[in-house]
Amino acid sequence: MLSREIRDTFFAFFGERGHIRVPSSPLIPSDPTLLLANAGMNQFKPYFLGEAVPDSPRAMTVQKCARTSDIDNVGRTTRHATFFEMLGNFSFGDYFKAEAIAWAWELFTEGYGLDPERLWITVYLDDDESARIWRSIGVPAERIHRLGVEDNYWSMGVPGPCGPSSELCYDRGPAFGAEGGPAVNDERYVELWNLVFMEKLRGEGPAKKDYAVLGDLQKKNIDTGLGLDRLAAILQGVDTVCQTDLLAPTLEATQELAGRRFPGHDGSPESVSFQVVTEHARSIAFLIADGVLPSNEGRGYILRRLMRRVVRHARLLGIDRPVLAEVTASVVGNLGEDWPELTTQSSLIEQVVSAEEETFNRTLRQGTRLLEAAIERARDTGSSSLSGDTAFELHDTYGFPVDLTTEAAGAAGLEVDQERFTALLEEQQRRAKQSGKERTGAALARLEAYRHVAARFGSSEFVGYDTTTAESTIAALIVGGDLVEHADEGQEVEVVLHQTPFYAESGGQVGDAGVIRSRDGALVEVRDTRAGVVGLTVHKGRVTSGTVRIGEEVRAEVDPDRRTAVARSHSATHVLHAMLRRTLGDHARQQGSLVAPGRLRFDFAHFSALDQDRIDDISTLINEAILDEPEVRVWHTSRAEAEAAGAMALFGEKYGDVVRVVDIGDFSRELCGGTHVDNAAAIGPVHILSESSIGSSLRRIEALTGRDALRHFDRERMLLNELTGLLGVGRDAAVDTLTKRLSSLADAEKKFAEMRRRELEGIAERLAGRARASGGGWLVVSRVDEVERDELRTVAASVLQRRGASEGVVVLATEAEGKAALTVAMGNRLAENGTNARDLLTRAAAMIGGGAGGRGTTASAGGRQVEHLDEALRAAREEAEARLGSL
Ligand code: ATP
Ligand code: MG
């Protein structure tokens, strides 16, 4: 049965039983505690926790899952992949154990036709109820195993739902090892389907034992996970997940690249490498399609690590050309119909993997050489380990990943001294911190001061969404990193207020500027506002008159024009983001931004440059959307609700339980803490200044907004006025006039060139007439200052031609603008005789302070010592005469 039929059968079966089909969530989960989606239930977590209410109490999915925790199992076991598809049926407070168990059995034995005799069941130690249900279906007691917390108890978060689980395993027969059931041999009795019965609420306690069960859940839930890859392997009669139809074409591509066949799952290094390349290729393609880009941390690092492993294992297979583009393309080709994001993002995938492979190969070349030498040395000295110092040097100096070092050393039977490596790494980090400390001693002192203030006063309350002024009191003053009681005129100061309308730089939006006034007229001019430590707003500025004191009542006034200009840019950023995604596709997500008064910078994922037409289209979309006066609406909700409502959250950004959502019209919805205009029409014009690349698959747009865009248009208009003024015509006629003038200029230039050509021919004619016999040929040597330097060669060639080329030499010299030039053109006879035209000029070139270049029968020289030009010309003549003499 093909994997597509396996999916369809699953959906048909549970569809008939009242389940609605929910699409897979992306691999990048909205749950901030999770790096990558790793199970079908992830996207339903809010339902299980009772935080949100599902549309239907029964759902079914085929979920994209990534489990890098299984990375080392790939190729070593037959059943582990770093990416796999998980089929699942879910009940949110609806049906429970009896149905879940009976249906799983029915689907397995009737839907997929698995032999009931080969199915084994596991249940949790004391879950008699489940065991009873399995028995009642007809599973004999000896094929029901009871396992402990590690295998058959499941929980999610603290506090969170938990409960026992029950697994369906399939006996693959004696070829896969000893008998005895899943408790004994999990490769032979492979786990296919896990049914989780969530019925309790878990409290604090170690993750895997001593569940402090708080009580029963209000509603009991079902969460199941059936590994498509594993079931496909069984139904297709193949040994490993890499040989199923999900991965067979990729295994094929790998075999082609390697120029040999996969030996089968035999535990050999070669077998492992084949499976790693094949299996990881799919994970890589899916991760990139879902918006992960390679980097040195988090998901980006997972992706990078997968790619690097593929490259390395491809090498181990003897492949010495790029592999990633090809193997990932086979994934797209094979699975692109079932997972359209692969097809839509295929060029992004190709670009990203190609660029990454190229970079990594450079690192690898260097690192591998060093590593091999080190391994050799270790062996020579009879050592069983590779020193931590070597691993560290490779990591630190050459950027060679330590996991690769460990792996390569392992393959050579050596252990890496991890302890030493870690110690060196920590030492280095400590040193880096230390030197940072010394360099930024003042900054640290300041940070200390902030912490102190935060501990004493808590956080500063931001009241600036609706107002730009507020009455407040001074909570703390910092001068030069020290907490002070007062700050005097002329001093640089950092002011902490209990309440403030000043927005502290965050989410790309710059901090506010303005003034803080005391009752008695003292004034602090605030240049910038920052978050000192989390929740603490620090106003940075200078006391420009009087003295400010702790505890004093003040009035804080944000510069309203600047604030408005910033708000325009922030709202414009959201509109731009929406229009980029509408035009380029969903992958064009925000990666970073700067929101400043009157201008913005926006970084987003995209794989190629935007041409001017695209930029114009996007610009028009933005400005027309703004003209419709879309309202900017701000509301608060839970994170889960916000995302269910389609709000865009930025990767890596942390939001609390209550999130702020900013809607613009009906086209933009983002989680955002920034300040915005009330209606997008207030943004005014948005003008895109530039679009450029800032890294692999990363683009940057810079734009002007509001007044700054208007000022830009003004400048452009002035420039145009100047140009039309110069042309002496009205605006409408400008293009026409300029086109005509350019074309008549081109005509004139052509005519002039023709005249000059004739003139030069005249000169050549005259020079040819002055040829003198010399040795076995003839010679023209002349200084021709009426010829430009760049015309010299043409004239020399023309002279040579006029005289019949084969045994002549022409040497010409000219001088202009303080530069001397010489050129030689000579006939074939001399060349045949072993003379190189450049030889004739070597001495002469030195005399004018330059070098000679050229080859064969023509050469030139240039220099600045014009006073030696005649002398140089004589030298060249002597050389020529000598050569002609020997003809
Ligand atoms: P195992 O113990 O074999 O690693 P698991 O207990 O980690 O499996 P679950 O977390 O219960 O598996 O996931 C549900 C189902 O997803 C499994 O029954 C299996 O079919 C599938 N599955 C889990 N991990 C992988 C993997 N790394 N590759 C392919 N399929 C997997
Ligand atoms: Mg597992």
Per-residue model confidence as pLDDT tens digits over 472-522: 999 999 998 888 999 999 999 999 999 999 999 887 899 999 999 999 999
Burial class (CB in 10 A: 0-12, 13-18, 19+), 503: buried
The span from the CA of 222 to the CA of 133, in Å, is 15
Q: Which helix (H) or strand (E) holds 824?
A: strand 819-826
| CA-closest candidate to residue 705, choices 560, 509, 575, 568 | 568
Do 56 and 116 sit in the same domain of this protein?
A: yes
Residues 6+ apart with CB under 8 A from 251: 242, 243, 262, 274, 278
Q: Give the CATH number, domain containing residue 785.
A: 3.10.310.40
**Does 452 fall in a domain?**
no
**Does 438 fall in a domain?**
no
Do 227 and 257 sit in the same domain of this protein?
A: no
pLDDT category of residue 54 using cuts at 50, 70 and 90: confident
The span from the CA of 635 to the CA of 663, in Å, is 8
Per-residue pLDDT averaged across 89-94, rounded?
Answer: 95
The span from the CA of 266 to the CA of 176, in Å, is 11
pLDDT in tens, 717-757: 999 999 999 999 988 999 999 999 999 999 999 999 999 99
**Does 79 fall in a domain?**
yes
pLDDT in tens, 513-569: 999 999 999 999 999 998 876 678 999 999 999 999 999 999 999 999 999 999 999
Q: What 3-state class would DSSP assign to 155?
A: strand
Ligand nearest to the CA of 151: 1
The span from the CA of 719 to the CA of 726, in Å, is 11
**Does 638 fall in a domain?**
yes
The span from the CA of 294 to the CA of 287, in Å, is 10
| 265 annotated as belonging to a binding site for a ligand | no
The span from the CA of 170 to the CA of 175, in Å, is 13
The span from the CA of 605 to the CA of 287, in Å, is 14
Could you list the residue range(s) of the whole structural domain that residue 614 is in? 563-714
Do 569 and 551 sit in the same domain of this protein?
A: no
Quote the pLDDT of residue 401.
Answer: 74
Residue nearest to atom 8 of ligand 1 (CA): 191
Q: Is the CB of 357 under 6 A from ligand 1?
A: no
Do 691 and 789 sit in the same domain of this protein?
A: no
Q: What 3-state class would DSSP assign to 522?
A: coil
Residues 6+ apart with CB under 8 A from 382: none
The span from the CA of 349 to the CA of 164, in Å, is 40
* Range with top average pLDDT, 220-229, 294-303, 728-737: 220-229
Ligand nearest to the CA of 73: 1
Do 509 and 584 sit in the same domain of this protein?
A: no
| 574 annotated as belonging to a binding site for a ligand | yes
The span from the CA of 787 to the CA of 759, in Å, is 10
Q: Is the CB of 85 under 6 A from ligand 1?
A: no
Q: Is the CB of 708 under 6 A from ligand 1?
A: no
Q: Give the CATH number, domain containing residue 664.
A: 3.30.980.10
Residue at a domain's end among 523, 558, 593:
558
pLDDT in tens, 593-623: 899 999 999 989 887 889 999 999 999 999 9
| 712 annotated as belonging to a binding site for a ligand | no
Q: Which atom of ligand 1 is nearest to the CA of 190?
A: 3
Task: Provide the domain count of the chain.
Answer: 5
Q: Give the CATH number, domain containing residue 548.
A: 2.40.30.130
Among left, alpha and beta (phi > 0; psi -120 to 50; other), residue 665 is: left
Percent of the chain that is helix, strand, coil (3-state, to 5) = 45, 25, 30
How far is residue 131 CA from its own chain's centroid?
A: 49
Query: 69 CA distance to ligand 1 centroid (A)?
Result: 11
**Does 461 fall in a domain?**
no
Does residue 653 register a pLDDT over 50? no
* Range with top average pLDDT, 243-247, 378-382, 453-457, 879-883: 243-247
Strands 808-816 and 777-783: parallel
Q: Is the CB of 67 under 6 A from ligand 1?
A: yes
The one-character DSSP state at 44 is G
The span from the CA of 690 to the CA of 610, in Å, is 10
Quote the pLDDT of residue 347.
Answer: 87
Query: 568 CA distance to ligand 1 centroid (A)?
Result: 50
Query: 70 CA distance to ligand 2 centroid (A)?
Result: 7
The span from the CA of 842 to the CA of 850, in Å, is 9
**Does 313 fall in a domain?**
yes
Residue nearest to atom 9 of ligand 1 (CA): 194
| CA-closest candidate to residue 56, choices 16, 9, 91 | 91
Strands 119-124 and 144-147: parallel
Quote the pLDDT of residue 426.
Answer: 87
Do 199 and 254 sit in the same domain of this protein?
A: no
Quote the pLDDT of residue 447.
Answer: 66
Do 651 and 526 sit in the same domain of this protein?
A: no
- The identity of residue 672, as a single letter, is C
Q: Give the CATH number, domain containing residue 21.
A: 3.30.930.10
Does residue 656 register a pLDDT over 60? no
Vertex 190, ends 185 and 194: CA angle to 5°?
120
How far is residue 225 CA from its own chain's centroid?
A: 31
- The identity of residue 62, as a single letter, is V
**Does 450 fall in a domain?**
no
What DSSP string runs through 95-142? Answer: --HHHHHHHHHHIIIIIS---GGGEEEEEETT-HHHHHHHHHHT--GG
Do 213 and 266 sit in the same domain of this protein?
A: no
Do 549 and 570 sit in the same domain of this protein?
A: no
Which of 19-28, 123-132, 224-233, 421-430 comes out lowest in average pLDDT? Answer: 421-430
Do 528 and 630 sit in the same domain of this protein?
A: no
The number of CA neighbours under 13 Å toward the Cβ of 582 is 17
Residue at a domain's end among 376, 392, 409:
376
Residues 6+ apart with CB under 8 A from 765: 802
Vertex 387, ends 383 and 393: CA angle to 5°?
145
| 676 annotated as belonging to a binding site for a ligand | yes
Residue at a domain's end among 345, 360, 376:
376
Do 663 and 786 sit in the same domain of this protein?
A: no
Q: Is the CB of 191 under 6 A from ligand 1?
A: yes
**Does 430 fall in a domain?**
no
Q: Is the CB of 501 under 6 A from ligand 1?
A: no
Token pair 């509301």 is at which residue?
A: 635
Q: Is the CB of 279 under 6 A from ligand 1?
A: no
Of residues 814 and 437, which shows the higher confidence score? 814
The span from the CA of 18 to the CA of 827, in Å, is 94
Which of 420-434, 712-726, 852-866 comes out lowest in average pLDDT? Answer: 420-434
| CA-closest candidate to residue 153, choices 134, 126, 187 | 126
The whole-chain average pLDDT of the chain stands at: 90
Do 134 and 74 sit in the same domain of this protein?
A: yes
| CA-closest candidate to residue 671, choices 638, 701, 626, 703 | 638
> 394-405: b or e for each residue (b if 16 or more CB lie within 10 Å)?
bbeebebbbebb
Ligand nearest to the CA of 230: 1
